[in-house]
Structure 1
């Protein structure tokens, strides 16, 4: 079956509670649909509900076949069997020849089979599928350690008391990780840690040693360890590669990542604030209360939120007792998504700052891409410390 070549992007909903990282996509017609959060592309032959989530790899099972992970392992379900083509994001650089060693593992029960790609583009490995379970990119264990497209992600930890240190946890990860999974993983480890939005893209070589340096340097800042190896198979555990430790709050800090030849592969000027970390220095929304911030983004929120995310947001606000059952039913009674969004935002905004803060935090977790566009990500209200557990 020949499908159209243009992707239609969608933001998935979340199936279940906030601890269930299963995504949901409702398709109404044939075509190619790309998930904004995972970069997965589904080739659909017709309407259907697609549920998908990442699951851990069995390294032992892969090793028995001379393979290693080259992407997340996605467990995919579709009761209507309407998914006929799957595009899995990869992080290889085609010009180096790394794509020649890629294939797709199809894991079902305790068995595994390897699917040769129909095509490999600059960004995706494309396969045809007839059944469902878990699919993920793999690479030959003995493939050359060519550089891959990668991410350097920063997470800030403010001091618990005046005597404590400031911390920046630095993660080096392959580009095709699912960012929302990384954010959820880090939040479970420490709810007070905040994602620091900085351009993350670079190219890193597997198993090569890298060093991280800072400006200001050694007199006021400690970087540990002194050097670390890049692991391109980090698709399950998102632990820091480096940790930056400093005592006095700074307005900004420069970070430099260098390879074994001392060549710089990534460097950034990171903006900080006394209250933690914000999207950009001097952001006007940082001085607004949560209620005022919802009013500021009102039109853009109504225009930008998708139906699945809106439904997930309603469910979460009901569970957190920000909304009552009748209030949720009033929102759902509107026929147009934009009207539902308007009624929801106005209802929460009228409840005051505590309820507004809870809605902002929930939206940041459910749709980081829209939240970034609205200027919410990295703001002080995208933090659990400002939330409340009960509303009337």
Structure 2
């Protein structure tokens, strides 16, 4: 039976959290749906569970001015799961730490707004689509491009970091900045690189701990970024900004995600291949297989791949071509959706996606 659940991220009451001796550990979601539509939720987190300093996570259920602390059903490396009976506001919180902060999972996100490369340091459990959409609204009417790269890393909250570049031709500011793992309403750059041209770059994020000689001793994140793919012959900046390169696997994943949710068939060979190539671990595979219907298994797999980013989506594309080449061929074949019987429902789905702003 089809059902609709609407949600949006909203602001935490930080004074109330502070009064309870808690800090936010992820976005606060306001949700709306028919009673009984959903029985379990999974909330993304950025904690490193294997760490001895890992704080216990709790789910805050907020109704009006009432805060209710709920114990999770279970916690995985990426999500905290909770059984629910109704909707309102839910979010993750954790007790304040009095000792030195421990590492958390984080993301380094790059946005090109020529001639500036904006670099954001964010906790892993941000909603990437929300970050991209808010950045788009903040930079209009200019066009800003999301630059896909190896974004995952581990950072220490409130620690100072500096960014360095393989080329001395580009200016980086500021010299250092702190990493904040708290949820944000707006997503401003932590660092900006003033580019003199679009060229391949090696970027390094350094923790500001120094050895006796005053030199930075380690890299907490590094990535090779080929900015040349964002220019068209090197003559028109406007063309490069309006025509970013997207790898085929990522393009396929995002373009056909809705169709894959409905049409993915036998999953076990796909899951097996994804585990073999390192996209899924045993727990994640079992999590997908534990769902009671094929549709929910597909949804769980696609949700995991979306969170893992471009590299995982590229590998999924190659695995799907190997395990179900006919499906890939059919999805990539041009269709005239306007003459399809499913076109009205397609329009409805698109409209629904753009109207997820309902309140409880």
Please give the TM-score of this superposition, normalised by the length of structure 2.
0.63
Is 1:344 matched up with 2:299?
A: no
Q: Greater share of helix residues, 1 or 2? A: 2
Match of 1:253 in 2: 201
Is 1:150 matched up with 2:150?
A: no
Any conservation in 2 of the 1:48–1:80 contact (CA below 8 Å)? no
Distance in 1 (alpha carbons) for counterparts of 2:186 and 2:254: 36
Shift of 1:81: 2.2
Any conservation in 1 of the 2:55–2:95 contact (CA below 8 Å)? no
Shift of 1:98: 4.8
Distance in 2 (alpha carbons) for counterparts of 1:193 and 1:154: 10
Is 1:128 matched up with 2:77?
A: no
Distance in 2 (alpha carbons) for counterparts of 1:184 and 1:309: 23
Shift of 1:199: 1.2
- After superposition, residues 99-138 of structure 1 pair within 5 angstroms as 99-138=54-93
1:61/1:303 CA distance change after superposition, 3 Å: closer
Is 1:216 matched up with 2:167?
A: yes
Shift of 1:77: 1.6
Is 1:182 matched up with 2:137?
A: no
Q: For structure 1, which runs of at least 5 residues remain unmatched after alignment?
A: 1-27, 29-46, 159-165, 278-285, 311-336, 348-361, 367-392
Any conservation in 1 of the 2:112–2:145 contact (CA below 8 Å)? yes
Across the aligned residues of Structure 1 and Structure 2, the Cα RMSD in angstroms comes to 3.8
Match of 2:148 in 1: 197
Distance in 2 (alpha carbons) for counterparts of 1:124 and 1:56: 20
Match of 1:31 in 2: none
Match of 2:48 in 1: 93
Shift of 1:80: 3.6
Q: For structure 2, which runs of at least 5 residues remain unmatched after alignment?
A: 210-215, 233-238, 263-329, 341-349, 355-360
Distance in 2 (alpha carbons) for counterparts of 1:231 and 1:171: 11
Distance in 1 (alpha carbons) for counterparts of 2:261 and 2:107: 26
Q: Greater share of strand residues, 1 or 2? A: 1
Distance in 2 (alpha carbons) for counterparts of 1:256 and 1:309: 37
Shift of 1:269: 1.2
Please give the TM-score of this superposition, normalised by the length of structure 1.
0.58
Shift of 1:266: 0.6
Match of 2:188 in 1: 239
Look up the SS of the partner of 2:189 in the other structure.
coil
1:271/1:302 CA distance change after superposition, 3 Å: closer
Instruction: Select between 300-309 and 50-59 the one with higher mean Cα deviation.
Output: 300-309
Q: 1:271 aligns with which of 194, 204, 226?
A: 226
Match of 2:295 in 1: none
Shift of 1:61: 1.9
1:83/1:269 CA distance change after superposition, 3 Å: same
User: Number of residue pairs matched?
Assistant: 257
